[in-house]
Amino acid sequence: MSRHVIRPFEEADLAAAASLLAQRHRVHRKRHPLLPADYEDERLALVEVTGAWETEGASGAVMVEGGEVTGYLLAAPKPSAVWGPNIWVEAAGHAVREPEHIRDLYGAAAAQWVEDGRIAHYVLVPDDAELIDAWFRLAFGSQHAHAVRPVPDTPLPPARDLVVRRAARADIPVLAELDLVLPQHQALSPVFSSGGIPTLEEAVADWEESIDDQDYVTFVAEYSGQAIGSAIGCSLDKSSAHNGLAKPDNAGFLGFAAVLPSARGRGAGRALGEAVLQWSADTGYTSVVTDWRVTNLLSSRAWPRLGFRQTFHRLHRLIGH
């Protein structure tokens, strides 16, 4: 006879799911103490699970053993067409006593998602080797990284052969050009991103409107008097991609960095990242968050070398191939 029963998630399961989520987060924070401590409290974990449950189109499953909920899975679609006919398991959307059981829960819940035509599946998984392995054995692969590091505790030395400075209105033409560099690069192999690429005219117009926005800081890297790269820093509060359990307290955000293809290899990317780190420290933040496509060979090597440690893995599976 089976040791467990799997059934659809119900509103009455929220409290038990919150308890599981809080426990998962306590273990996670032992490896990544910069993550927010609040969600170790079951009452605040309940807010996150309730948010996942109340998202439009949410559905999922729970595992019950001996009358006790020992695992749950919740997912909901996102309306943006860029993700395909999708379903998303966010950071608060799953927790299990035994990592292997996430496979059973997915097996129960995913049948309806696929029947509904949602064949692009995404999940945000904490940096836990056994849990990641369980998802990998469901045919998921790594797509995107969320990472954090503390701000530098001593001033960083200036970059060699480069000048890094705040951007000015006169930089708008090159800033607009650099806005296209990142999505153009990510459209290439091996990323193959389907994200849209703005026109140069659209990018110029956007910079004309936003260059003086005090909520963002933009740095430019110069080599031999020519601007070759840029980076943007801001409060992590400005990023919709980092929230809840995945959002460290009092954090800055390295939200964008790009270097002209002809100028790569001179250390401009690192120098720009260090400028955002130093700005974050000077502003009073205690940590800095960034994220990257793991198939982007440049950023997936540059940011870990700058001290960023991956906290969450966004995994992806496309059904039917």
The CA distance from 123 to 135, in Å, is: 9
Pairing outcome for strands 94-96 and 68-75: antiparallel
Question: Could you please report the per-residue DSSP string of 24-37?
Answer: HHHHHHHH-TTS-G
Closest to 3 (Cα-Cα) out of 71, 81, 91, 79: 71
Give the tens place of pLDDT for each residue, 37-51: 999 999 999 999 999
Task: Name which of 128-132, 156-160, 195-199, 285-289 the model is least confident about.
Answer: 156-160
Q: pLDDT category, 321, cuts 50, 70, 90?
A: low
Across residues 138-147, what is the average pLDDT? 98
Across residues 170-190, what is the average pLDDT? 96
According to the model, what pLDDT value does residue 233 have? 98
Q: Which residue has the tokens 């998962």?
A: 24
Q: Read off the pTM.
A: 0.94
Domain ranges of the chain: 5-138, 150-309
pLDDT at 78 over 50: yes
Q: Which CATH architecture has domain 150-309?
A: 3-Layer(aba) Sandwich (3.40)
Residue 126 bridge partners (DSSP): 312
Across residues 182-187, what is the average pLDDT? 94
According to the model, what pLDDT value does residue 3 have? 80
Q: Please say whether the beta carbons of 82 and 56 come within 8 A.
A: no
pLDDT at 2 over 70: no
DSSP 8-state symbol, 154: S
Q: Please say whether the beta carbons of 285 and 233 come within 8 A.
A: no
- Asked if the domains at 5-138 and 150-309 fall in one CATH topology, the answer is yes
Give the tens place of pLDDT for each residue, 306-318: 999 999 999 999 9
According to the model, what pLDDT value does residue 196 have? 86
Question: How many other β-carbons are positioned within 10 Å of the β-carbon of residue 137?
Answer: 11
pLDDT at 229 over 60: yes
| Cis-peptide into 183, omega within 30 deg | no
pLDDT at 1 over 90: no
Across residues 124-140, what is the average pLDDT? 98
pLDDT at 268 over 50: yes
CATH number of 5-138: 3.40.630.30
Tokens coding 91 = 């950071």
Angle in degrees, CA 201, 204, 296, rounded to 5: 90
Give the tens place of pLDDT for each residue, 205-220: 999 999 999 999 999 9
According to the model, what pLDDT value does residue 195 have? 83
Across residues 292-310, what is the average pLDDT? 97
Q: How far is CA 271 from CA 169, 208, 281, 311, in A?
A: 21, 25, 15, 23
CA Rg, the chain, in Å?
A: 21
Q: CA torsion, points 228, 277, 217, 193, in degrees to nearest 10?
A: 60
pLDDT at 57 over 50: yes
Question: How many other β-carbons are positioned within 10 Å of the β-carbon of residue 96?
Answer: 20
Amino acid at the residue 255? G
Q: pLDDT category, 160, cuts 50, 70, 90?
A: confident
Mean pLDDT in the chain? 96
Across residues 165-178, what is the average pLDDT? 97
Across residues 130-153, what is the average pLDDT? 97
Helix (H) or strand (E) holding 309: strand 309-318
Instruction: Give the long-range contacts of residues 208-213, CB within 8 A, separation 24 or more.
Output: 208/172, 211/167, 211/169, 211/172, 211/175, 212/169
Question: Could you please report the per-residue DSSP string of 168-181?
Answer: -GGGHHHHHHHHHH
Q: pLDDT category, 189, cuts 50, 70, 90?
A: very high
